[in-house]
Every structure is written in C-alpha cells, then in structure tokens.
C-alpha cells in the first residue's frame, strides 16, 4: 500500500524548470541538424509548456526512443510536444485511476479481514461486558 501511495505521489509531482531544461536538452540532442528560428524563445516556450506536466510525463516525452524524437523526424513544434505530453498524461491518468482502484480494493480487503477477527456475537459480548464495567464503576 505504501508503494501505491508513493507511485501516486510521483505521478502528481509537476516538472521543475531544471527538469524541463534537462528534458529539452535531451530532445535537442536528438536533432543535431535542427535549428529553431529563435532558439531562446523556443527554449522558453518549451520550458513553460513542460513545467505544466508531471515530471514522469516529461521524462517520457524526452525519451529518445519512445518520446518525441522517436516519433517526429524534424525539430518538433510546440504543438507536437504538447500533443504527445497530453497523450502521456492521459495514459498516466489511467494508471492513477487503476492505482486508486487497487488501493481502495486493498483497503476494503484489509477492513474485511479485520471484521472477520471479531464475530458479531463476540462484538455483542464485548459491548455488554464493557457496558457492565461502565455502570458498575
């Protein structure tokens, strides 16, 4: 259960500017011939875009094989990067939903196990003995 909570937390942590810069560096390294019209502006806009996504999504976008470089032959437009980041975020959303369902199921199973430790008859007997102790004392 701790692992599930940890994974949920990781999926919700937004990318920092430093992580975005590293991701952009990786993306640009995959396009050695490419030249952006205004490199500084391109880098700023990509940074602003990527910090809106979870860090795990940004890592996927920057991955040389499975990310943008593995899908787009030329230096990607901001729209192409955003489209792929949105897709990866949606995929992560499905993972989060699955993890939450799993967490709920684990909690329900744990609660059911605890309920089985004390039968209703035992619970009634316990409550009666507790009531006697309270009224006597």
Rounded Cα gap, residues 92 and 73, in angstroms: 25
**For position 2, what pLDDT does the model report?**
58
Rounded Cα gap, residues 57 and 42, in angstroms: 20
Structure tokens at 22: 């590293």
**For position 137, what pLDDT does the model report?**
43
Structure tokens at 41: 């502006």
Contact 100, 62 (CB under 8 A): no
The count of domains in the chain is: 1
**For position 50, what pLDDT does the model report?**
96
Domain hosting 106: range is: 2-136
Angle at Cα 45 formed by Cα 18 and Cα 92, nearest 5°?
65
Structure tokens at 122: 């035992």
DSSP character at residue 30: T
Query: Along the chain (137 residues), what's the average pLDDT of each consecutive run of 10 residues?
Result: 63 87 93 82 94 93 94 93 94 80 81 73 78 58
pTM value? 0.67
**For position 121, what pLDDT does the model report?**
82
Contact 61, 81 (CB under 8 A): yes
**Cβ neighbourhood burial of 133 (10 Å; 0-12, 13-18, 19+):** exposed
CA-based torsion, 68, 62, 42, 53: positive or negative: positive
**Closest listed residue to residue 55, CA positions, set 4, 9, 101, 102:** 9
């Amino acid at each position: 259960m701790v692992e599930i909570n940890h994974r949920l937390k990781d999926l919700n942590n937004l990318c920092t500017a430093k992580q975005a810069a590293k991701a952009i560096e990786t993306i640009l390294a995959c396009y050695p011939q490419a030249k952006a019209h205004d490199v500084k502006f391109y880098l700023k806009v990509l940074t602003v875009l990527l910090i809106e996504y979870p860090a795990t999504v940004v890592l996927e976008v920057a991955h040389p094989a499975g990310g943008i470089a593995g899908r787009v032959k030329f230096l990607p437009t901001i729209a192409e990067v955003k489209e792929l980041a949105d897709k990866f975020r949606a995929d992560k959303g499905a993972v989060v939903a699955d993890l939450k369902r799993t967490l709920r199921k684990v909690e329900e199973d744990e609660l059911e196990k605890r309920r089985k430790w004390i039968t209703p008859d035992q619970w009634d007997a316990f409550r009666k003995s507790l009531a006697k102790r309270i009224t006597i004392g």
